[in-house]
Homo-oligomer: A and B are copies of this chain.
Amino acid sequence: MTTRTQPARQTPAVTGAMYIAGDAVTGDAGTFHAVDPAEGTALEPAFRFAGSELAARAAELAEAAFEPFRAAPVEQRARLLELAADEIDAAGDAAAQRAHLETGLPLARLTGEVARTTGQLRLFAATLREGSWHGARIDHELPDRKPARRPDVRQRRIPVGPVAVFAASNFPLAFSVAGGDTASALAAGCPVVVKAHEAHPGTSEIVAAAVTRAVAASGLPAGVFSMVFAEGPTVGIELVTHPAIAAVGFTGSRRVGLALVAAAAARPVPIPVYAEMSSVNPVFLLPGRLAEAGTELGTAFAGSLTLGAGQFCTNPGIVVGVDGRGLDRFTAAARDAVSASAPAPMLTGRIAASYADGVARLAAHPGTEVIARAPDPGRPTWGSAALAVTTAEEFLASPELREEVFGAASLIVRAASAEQLLDVARAMEGQLTATVHAADSDAPLASELLPVLERKAGRILFNGWPTGVEVVPSMVHGGPFPATSDGRTTSVGTRAMERFLRPVAYQDVPDALLPPPVRESNPAGLLRLVDGAYTRD
């Protein structure tokens, strides 16, 4: 079980396959190709979508694998995650190169994404071994309690069942086939059926092949992992409504996310959908910091905005500052940097078209002024950055200005006072992130702002930019609606596992029949809440 297998070192081929419970399978529905968005040309080979039956088969094989998977030793599950990480690392150069062709994202960024993806799998392996995820609790019997004996009650968490994961377009590795949703569901003991994103099918095939090899090497049932392509909404919805599926992870648009939420709620047995949807990630520039470093902040902001053609869930779409010279300098520097920024290919033609529409809406709004536009790339699959300004008064009166434009567009909101900046914060919808730039002298205003932002965002950051999500146990990549469909959860960081676990209590169950985490003896030294106190005894 703990033998380290040697991952395949030969360059993984892209053949047009999906993977269903260990088997490379060609789809039985429509044909499609990946498109190189930099050139707008189709990439070989052809792929085929899965029809309803193939997708259902993946779900059924996941269900068949669930009991043996959850019954297997936790160490075997940790090994699966590590084997998957090793296999993906071995295929990493090929995956990054294919992803570069399929997404137009810079190769260096994609190489980093491979490391992030495999680091995340290894972090979950370590979390499994640490063991507190079991949530083990024991309350011993009180035989002499009056008027009646108190029974022995114990609790642990178990996996919910097979999980459908809908991969994102914008992180072809870290939020895709073996991304955070897949890693955390497998860590929890849930088989996974990935609905891959059709914008990077070759990358998806390479990664799915790597995970499939890892499952085989782990000795776990092949059904713990499948990856399918599905055209349009129909087969995806069928997956969400398949009786074998117990939960859903999704990263993408608000429209599709809400459709999955609605489908899951309408099932005979509703299931949770963890959808990460939309966020404008407001940045608040406090006066003291603006006075110190307005120009420097403006340049840095433009860098964060244009990174990866602005195609981050945590892209800073709104900047709020208090009027004054500092904000003028910020605005001028951001304007210059955005004007000088290079156009870049976007992930898909549809995303580029939607971005162009969003920028046009922003420009046409009577209350905004576009102050910077990067050169027109003259190609339909490319995008160029845009920057507009408005007043806080206008922003507060125009809810449509709070909507996300996915891409490198941002809006500077000029507040007349600190109080108005707070009003803008209070008017925000739920967000993945909220950023504050503050000097020491801004502490009183920052203290007022912080509790407002806690209610709005999953992550609050100071004196930085939101476009990086560290994979650490403390991370929250989530936030109140509409940032996600369930603000109690995170899709990055080790708490992501909790989405796929539920507690079960055992009352007066004989020790020999109890699952190991809640037996009287604790040879693994798990952290457990015993009679109200945490202990590893």
User: Which residues in A have some Cβ–Cβ distance to B below 8 Å?
Assistant: 67, 70-71, 112, 126, 130, 132, 137-139, 147-148, 150-151, 153-155, 158, 160-161, 261, 265, 269-270, 272, 429-430, 443, 446-447, 450-451, 454-455, 457-464, 468, 470, 472-476, 478, 480-482, 485-488, 490, 493, 495, 501-510, 512-513, 527, 529, 532-534
B153 touches A470 (CB 8 A): yes
Complex: how many Å from CA A25 to CA B126? 56
B443 touches A474 (CB 8 A): no
A520 to chain B, nearest CB (A): 14
**Sample of 30 A–B contacts (CB below 8 Å):** A70-B451, A71-B451, A137-B474, A139-B475, A151-B468, A155-B475, A158-B455, A261-B265, A261-B270, A269-B480, A269-B481, A443-B512, A459-B504, A459-B506, A459-B507, A460-B504, A460-B509, A461-B507, A461-B508, A461-B509, A462-B507, A462-B509, A462-B510, A473-B529, A475-B505, A476-B503, A476-B504, A478-B503, A488-B501, A495-B503
Give 6 nearest A-B pairs by CB, closest first: A461-B507, A476-B505, A139-B472, A155-B474, A137-B474, A459-B505
A67 touches B451 (CB 8 A): yes
| Inter-chain contacts of A460 with B (CB < 8 A) | 504-507, 509
B513 touches A447 (CB 8 A): yes
- Given A71-B451, A532-B126, CB of A473 within 8 Å of CB of B137: yes
A504 touches B454 (CB 8 A): yes
- Given A462-B509, A510-B462, CB of A502 within 8 Å of CB of B487: yes
| Inter-chain contacts of A158 with B (CB < 8 A) | 454-455
- Given A130-B532, A460-B505, A461-B151, CB of A513 within 8 Å of CB of B450: yes
B532 touches A272 (CB 8 A): no
Which of A132, A461, A504, A512 has the most C-beta atoms of chain B within 10 angstroms of its own C-beta? A504
A475 touches B153 (CB 8 A): yes
| Inter-chain contacts of A486 with B (CB < 8 A) | 272
Complex: how many Å from CA A175 to CA B512? 34
